[in-house]
Chains A and B, each alone.
Chain A
Amino acid sequence: MQQNIETTEKPELVIETRNLNIFYNDFRAVSNVNMSVKRHRITAIIGPSGCGKTTLLRSFNRMNELVPGSHAEGEVIFDGQNLYDPMVDPVEVRYRIGMVFQKANPFPKSIYENIAWSARIHGYRGRMDGLVESCLRQAALWDEVKDKLNQSGLALSGGQQQRLCIARALAVQPEVILMDEPASALDPIATLKIEELMQELKKNYTIVIVTHNMQQAARVSDYTAMMMLSDAQRAGTVIEYNETNIIFTRPQDKRTEDYVTGRFG
């Protein structure tokens, strides 16, 4: 039954949401989400456009707050602590829960500096060369860029830029990496590389990925949350959350079934 999960022991919860509601000013974008993210697993969030997937993902490391007028109600428990507690520093949250964006956004600096800067701002004082190499190796980019570390990160191809962004996220050694459609702008080969990379990364990190691509969710993830606009409130909510193979083979909800079998969406 758990074909995507290597170990049979019950995985530990890393992030858990409790009645999470997210608003943009008065508009409720996401309503009443109760889901969890398990350690060293890949959790996918799928659903049609505009149903709040990215909003939900960003709420996991408080990136939503950068949008003026947005606020959250409810709790996001990470490591036993509510992230939305007034005592919690959002900078600290983002340090422990990293993020990779839909459009690759390396800093307009050298490849080396992209990673070194990330480590440096968090007080890394060790051997920088070793860290840069290790991050690039983990992101499966080392062999392609080892001879041009001083070139601008923007000179790389789209897929390489996205892997550089992943390497940059790894430099601060987060516990969780949030990925917002990391492969949506990439061709199938670059996409495959990112997907392979995610399988490697989940040995050491917990990954949450938002994707439009149901095949991708089915290929890479262990758990899947299906989001949809609830008819009553016009706000996105998680209608079904389960192991990926159950979502794609025996969904409980009729709407999930319609969506994953391609009857709409």
Chain B
Amino acid sequence: MGLITKSFAPWRNPQILSVSCPLVVQMSTGICCVSASLVIARVVRLQVEKTWNLWDSLSKSGEINTEVARDYPDAELRFTSWLNSDFINRPQTSEPVTAGIRTAIYGSLWTILFTVLVAFPIGVGAAIYLEEYATDTWINRLIQTNINNLAGVPSIVYGILGLAIFVRALEPLTSGQIFGIVDPTTANGRTVLSAGLTLGILVLPLIIINAQEAIRAVPVSLRRASYGIGATKWQTTWSHVLPNSIPGILTGTILAISRAIGETAPLVVVGASTAISFDPASPFSKFTTLPIQIYQWTSRPQDEFRALAAAAILVLLMLLLTLNAAAILLRNRYSGRF
């Protein structure tokens, strides 16, 4: 018997026509003792034999049909899109037809959660300090210069920093050991928590700089009004400066997050796993993220995985564009209030 799959996708990325041949494998379970009872089954598994991209599928369908009929008489030709709801809902597997990106999406979300938890409070706090409290001393100027420079440091450097500090030095913390958590799947400190902390440090300068800009944009007359009635610095900051700069701060944070979501290099160094098929269950789980998954798929020799990578790239792009659109909407909504 044969199965031919033909798929259509609304974008211009690799499209396939796939042919699969039946394959017989043996599965044995329940080998308990020497005089074992054996369960033997013949399992039919689909296998992709060949794929064509979208352009070829559309323009050369006649040739493809001929080729399939000639070379794979038992196979079925199917026109199918790699990007579908199954692709998003399934965990990663080693088979292209059943592989999905659910684990990668969850990994990305977990990582970003910790990134935000770390970078947002510290970043906004630092921005408030630098804008409202810091005096013009050489040490504060040095800090400011360093923050500006750190925003331009290559991300791989942060990866190495994360490897040294979070994965190695703080391993008892990042692996959950000091909380008494022993996750058998976790190797060392290469966990969601380490990745989140590393990305948190990576985007911290961006968040600080953006928050500083937003705080600076609050008119000085508003601060004067507040001080003029005898408000303290903190009352002024909390009740007037922050509420009026929060749209700008959020815009900057969203843009920083979208940068963090797309980061690959530091996570490779920190030790994101490339092939895991289970969702991260805790901060101390092994993880993979969307960019890591894409990176891994693109390095596979088979065409099908490159098609998968293209589909995953589309998902990642949509995620990033959605975040950036949210940032622009926020900015437009609150701009020009003074």
Interface residue ranges, A against B (CB under 8 Å)? 61, 63, 66, 68, 91-96, 98-101, 103, 105-108, 117-118, 121-122, 165, 168-169, 171-172, 174
Tell me the complex Cα distance, A117–B230, Å: 11
Tell me the complex Cα distance, A107–B225, Å: 8
At the interface, yes or no: B169 with Cβ under 8 Å from chain A? Answer: no
At the interface, yes or no: B228 with Cβ under 8 Å from chain A? Answer: yes
Q: Are A108 and B231 in contact (CB under 8 A)?
A: no
Tell me whether A91 and B231 are in contact in the complex, defined as CB-CB below 8 angstroms, given that A68-B136, A108-B337, A108-B338 are known contacts.
yes
Q: Chain B residues near A96 (CB, 8 Å)?
A: 230
8 cross-chain pairs, A with B, having the tightest CB-CB distances, nearest first: A95-B230, A99-B228, A94-B230, A105-B221, A105-B225, A118-B229, A121-B235, A91-B232
**B338: nearest chain-A partner, CB-CB:** A108
> In chain B, residues 208-241, which have Cβ atoms closer than 8 Å to a Cβ of chain A?
219, 221-232, 235, 239-240
Tell me whether A66 and B224 are in contact in the complex, defined as CB-CB below 8 angstroms, given that A107-B240, A117-B239, A121-B235 are known contacts.
yes
In angstroms, how far is the closest chain A Cβ from the Cβ of B325?
26
Q: Are B225 and A165 in contact (CB under 8 A)?
A: yes
Q: Chain A residues near B224 (CB, 8 Å)?
A: 63, 66, 99, 101, 105
Q: Chain B residues near A169 (CB, 8 Å)?
A: 228-229
Tell me the complex Cα distance, A96–B229, Å: 8
Q: Are A63 and B227 in contact (CB under 8 A)?
A: yes
Interface residue ranges, B against A (CB under 8 Å)? 136, 219, 221-232, 235, 239-240, 244, 337-338
Q: Are B230 and A91 in contact (CB under 8 A)?
A: yes
Tell me the complex Cα distance, A117–B222, Å: 14
Tell me the complex Cα distance, A235–B184, Å: 77
Tell me the complex Cα distance, A263–B54, Å: 87
Q: Chain B residues near A174 (CB, 8 Å)?
A: 230
Tell me the complex Cα distance, A92–B244, Å: 25
Q: Chain A residues near B244 (CB, 8 Å)?
A: 108
Q: Which of A101, A118, A168 contacts B221 (CB 8 A)?
A: A101
Q: Are B222 and A66 in contact (CB under 8 A)?
A: no
**A94: nearest chain-B partner, CB-CB:** B230
Q: Are B225 and A122 in contact (CB under 8 A)?
A: no
Tell me whether A101 and B239 are in contact in the complex, defined as CB-CB below 8 angstroms, given that A91-B231, A94-B230, A172-B230 are known contacts.
no
Tell me the complex Cα distance, A205–B228, Å: 16
Q: Are A107 and B226 in contact (CB under 8 A)?
A: yes
**A117: nearest chain-B partner, CB-CB:** B239
- Given A99-B228, A105-B222, 9 additional A-B pairs, CB 8 A: A61-B228, A68-B136, A91-B231, A99-B224, A101-B221, A105-B224, A105-B225, A107-B225, A108-B338
Tell me the complex Cα distance, A169–B226, Å: 10
Q: Chain B residues near A121 (CB, 8 Å)?
A: 229-232, 235, 239
**Contact sample, A vs B, 12 pairs, CB 8 Å cutoff:** A61-B228, A91-B232, A93-B230, A94-B229, A94-B230, A99-B228, A100-B228, A101-B225, A108-B222, A108-B244, A121-B229, A172-B229
**B232: nearest chain-A partner, CB-CB:** A91
Tell me the complex Cα distance, A92–B221, Å: 20
Q: Are A98 and B225 in contact (CB under 8 A)?
A: no
**B135: nearest chain-A partner, CB-CB:** A68
Q: Chain A residues near B223 (CB, 8 Å)?
A: 66
Q: Chain A residues near B225 (CB, 8 Å)?
A: 101, 105-107, 165, 168
